[in-house]
Amino acid sequence: MSTEQTEKTEPWTVLRLLTWTTDFFKKKGSDTARLDAEVLLADARGCSRIELYTAFNTELEQEPLVAFRELVRRRGEGTPVAYLVGYKEFYSLKFQVNPSVLIPRPETEHLVIEALDRAKSIAGEGKLHIADVGTGSGAIAIAIAKNLPRARVAAIDKSEQALQVARENVERYELQDRIVLQHGDLLQTIKMDASLDMVCSNPPYISQAEYDALDPGVREQEPEMALLCGPKGTETIEALIPQAARCLKPGGFLIIELSPMIADACADILKANEAFAADTVHLIRDLAGHKRILSAQKAA
């Protein structure tokens, strides 16, 4: 994309840029090379991805071309696309993100689906009190609140910087009256008086060994506090379960995202806690077939 000779002879049209960049990202090892190229080019042109398809033969002006080159260079060096464009779609909603928060993942949508399904089974029309532990960008709290008008969510995080991003997302969706942001460790800011209908969490769950072997594009770019848990990977979930047991109403739900590596161990820990009905403890698989969501109901 940089040889002046080629630039003079053949114009940098949208299609040519997409083709060149997709090939470049593939060589860099991206599994989503074409998508990355489209998202970055749309961002540089200030248009939607769909609009690129009706502009294949359009030549780029100098300003968006310079902006696009810079984005491609940074992507080539490993910066995630979501941090470059400043947003990520999750559950059909757009979330602002920056390196203070984990980029919401498609697997986490299974947690939201489970939470909304379980919420439907709670009788009545009154408010549902929910905690989202480790809210990050606020993706889970906001997706639940947008789809469940009864929801009142405490969105908790240990990171002040993450909460600042969550605050901007909550304001973007005008949910300040239904989502309260709290700075704290797990459920310590919540009264342990069995008043919650549901506790949701996508906590850090990566063991030190897994973290050391993680794709550098994730390990070096996304916040360590969002990913790394401890030597086993189960430590945060082990601490969360007894706290959730005290905060949840009888019949309330605990829904946790985890790694397939620790799924069975965490299910056993949950079954061993007498507060939860052992026959309600179950694991839900993601689209790749991996055990990803642990769900259980507090005994009535």
Ligand X SMILES: C[S@@+](CC[C@H](N)C(=O)[O-])C[C@H]1O[C@@H](n2cnc3c(N)ncnc32)[C@H](O)[C@@H]1O
217 is in an annotated binding site: no
Is 202 a binding residue for ligand X by CB under 6 A? The answer is yes
Amino acid at 30: S
Minimum CB–partner distance for residue 28 and ligand X (Å): 25
If DSSP codes are grouped into helix, strand and coil, which group holds residue 150?
coil
The span from the CA of 95 to the CA of 137, in Å, is 7
The span from the CA of 223 to the CA of 38, in Å, is 26
Neighbours of 144 (CB within 10 A): 25
Nearer to ligand X, 37 or 187 (CB): 187
Amino acid at 29: G
Nearer to ligand X, 38 or 109 (CB): 109
Nearer to ligand X, 18 or 103 (CB): 103
Nearer to ligand X, 101 or 244 (CB): 101
Nearer to ligand X, 41 or 175 (CB): 175
Minimum CB–partner distance for residue 186 and ligand X (Å): 5
Site for ligand X in 53-112 (CB under 6 A): 101-102, 104, 108
Minimum CB–partner distance for residue 108 and ligand X (Å): 4
Question: Residue 201 has which token pair?
Answer: 């969490």
Nearer to ligand X, 15 or 93 (CB): 93
Which residue, among 98, 104, 76, has the nearest Cα to 85 in the 3D structure?
A: 98
If DSSP codes are grouped into helix, strand and coil, which group holds residue 159?
coil
Q: What are the b/e assignments for 42-69, b being 16+ CB within 10 Å?
A: bbbbeeeeeebeebeeeebeeebbebbb
Interface pick for ligand X out of 35, 218, 225, 277 (rule CB under 6 A): 225
Interface pick for ligand X out of 14, 81, 148, 226 (rule CB under 6 A): 226
* Helix, strand, coil fractions of the chain, as percent rounded to 5: 45, 20, 35
Site string for ligand X, 102-141 (x = CB under 6 A): x-x---x------------------------xxxxx-xx-
Minimum CB–partner distance for residue 245 and ligand X (Å): 17
Angle between helices 62-76 and 14-27 (to 10 degrees): 10
Minimum CB–partner distance for residue 26 and ligand X (Å): 27
Q: What is the DSSP letter of 252?
A: E
Nearer to ligand X, 84 or 186 (CB): 186
Minimum CB–partner distance for residue 84 and ligand X (Å): 18
Position of tokens 């379980």?
118
The span from the CA of 19 to the CA of 168, in Å, is 35
Minimum CB–partner distance for residue 140 and ligand X (Å): 5
What is the total count of residues that contact ligand X (CB under 6 A)? 23
The span from the CA of 133 to the CA of 257, in Å, is 11
Phi–psi pair at 229, nearest 5 degrees: -105, -60
Binding-site residues for S-adenosyl-L-methionine, please?
A: 134-138, 157, 202
Site for ligand X, rule CB under 6 A: 101-102, 104, 108, 133-137, 139-140, 156-159, 162, 185-186, 202-204, 225-226
Binding-site residues for substrate, please?
A: 202-205
